[in-house]
Amino acid sequence: MAHRLTAVACGLAFLWAGNPASAQPLPEGNTGIASHYPGDVGIASDNAVIYADDFEGYASASALDTNWNAGIYHNVSLTSVGANVYAGQKALEFLSPQQSAELSNGVGRTVSPELDVLFLRYYSKYDPAFDVVGSSHNGGGISSHYFVNGNATPGVPANGTNKFLVEYECWRGDVATPNPGDLNLYVYQPEQRSQWGDHFFPDGTVMPNTSVPGDFGLDFVPRPHIVPVLGRWYSYELMVKANTPGVRDGRIAVWLDGALIADFPNLRLRDTTALTIDRFNLSLHIGSNTLSETRKWYDNVVAAKSYIGPMVPTGSTGGGTTTDAGATADGGSPPGDAGTTPADGGAPADAGIPNNGVAGGCGCRAGADLQAGTLGLFAALGLLALPRRRRA
């Protein structure tokens, strides 16, 4: 039986249609575009690919803006140090000095023509010295009109007609959580719970106000929290599908080394077809980095209209399965801000910087607690759904 629910945005009540048809299964492993282009050689020529960059063609970082036309921010360079390059001879490097001041490093590219669906795959590695608690945006993002005249719009809630933003990143709420923290999605969307973006975790927990479950529909499958290993390259992939206005058929999904680790169907990201994806980015934003200088590296970026998947070795015919990613799962424990207010009282983490950082608008809450343990075998992560545990 169809259900009706009322969503409120900008003080107006919108009557939404019944639940959409069941979410379709998503691909995994080496079954995407990359499987047809070993080593990613020639992948930019694929009809579904809108951009690809292995960072080999730049004489210096000063030339990055020829392709990353939506901004190059702060400490951005190219490295040729072998251990910090995933493939080829060069990779992108972001540097965060040891300092208390907030800093957003990043690169961004516009999407033209704008799209309703985008997949972003990139390889990335955290510095073994990465040790950050609280405010940090440290992955790849896809957004719709979140940037206005080149400036981010943090602290301005999404209302269904102005913007949406999705960042695939790690969140570490306290020192008990292993670095770099739990993989999650930082999302500006019209049902967000404060003026700052929500954090969606693989088990369905939404922060802030974790006692209130996320509205991800009957097809939602809880999955365990994942902590990547410092100093190790991974293939990260993010999909954002904007909903049909008036229908909850939006969807966000993420993969790690080709394994689907989180899938959020039944989403409302917009109330108008005029709101379409116009930008993607890579970033290393840290609110306060007082313990040590740290870096993050990116390589082999592909943006496309369909699933990309990990690179396959040169000479491979593709179509293989995923390998052990070496990440750890923490038992699916939810964040610890189960009350009705953000742990830090709602103060913006990025209030002290201009709005031109690519991460733009943190709202991370340093008092939150994501308990962490390890389960070991990552090969089972796509199949294992651990029970969620609540604190008394």
Instruction: Give me the domains of the chain, ranges plus CATH numbers.
Output: 23-380 (2.60.120.200)
Can you give the pLDDT at residue 108?
98
Can you give the pLDDT at residue 2?
37
Are the C-beta atoms of 72 and 102 separated by less than 8 Å? no
pTM as predicted: 0.82
Can you give the pLDDT at residue 233?
98
At 335, the pLDDT band (50, 70, 90 cuts) reads low
**Range with lowest mean pLDDT among 122-131, 258-267, 288-297, 333-342:** 333-342
Can you give the pLDDT at residue 315?
75
The rounded percent of the chain whose pLDDT value lies above 70 is 75
Residue 299 CB: number of other CB atoms within 10 A? 25
Tokens at residue 171, please?
């969140």
Can you give the pLDDT at residue 248?
98
Mean pLDDT of 30-34: 98
Bigger pLDDT: 390 or 324? 324
Can you give the pLDDT at residue 134?
94
Residue 148 CB: number of other CB atoms within 10 A? 12
Are the C-beta atoms of 329 and 384 separated by less than 8 Å? yes
Q: How far apart are CA 284 and CA 200, in angstroms?
A: 19
State yes or no: pLDDT of 284 exceeds 90: yes
At 60, the pLDDT band (50, 70, 90 cuts) reads very high
Can you give the pLDDT at residue 94?
98
State yes or no: pLDDT of 368 exceeds 50: no
Residues whose CB falls within 8 Å of the CB of residue 263, separated by 6 or more in sequence, listed in order? 23, 26, 220, 221, 223, 251, 252, 253, 254
- Residue 23 DSSP one-character state: P
Can you give the pLDDT at residue 354?
32
On the 0-12 / 13-18 / 19+ scale of CB atoms within 10 A, 392 is exposed
Give the residue from 266, 325, 374 showing the smallest Cα distance to 28.
325
Cβ-count burial 123-142 (b if 16+ within 10 Å, e if not): bbbbbeebbbbbbbbbbbbb
State yes or no: pLDDT of 79 exceeds 50: yes
Are the C-beta atoms of 76 and 110 separated by less than 8 Å? no
Can you give the pLDDT at residue 255?
99
Can you give the pLDDT at residue 23?
87
Q: How far apart are CA 124 and CA 300, in angstroms?
A: 9
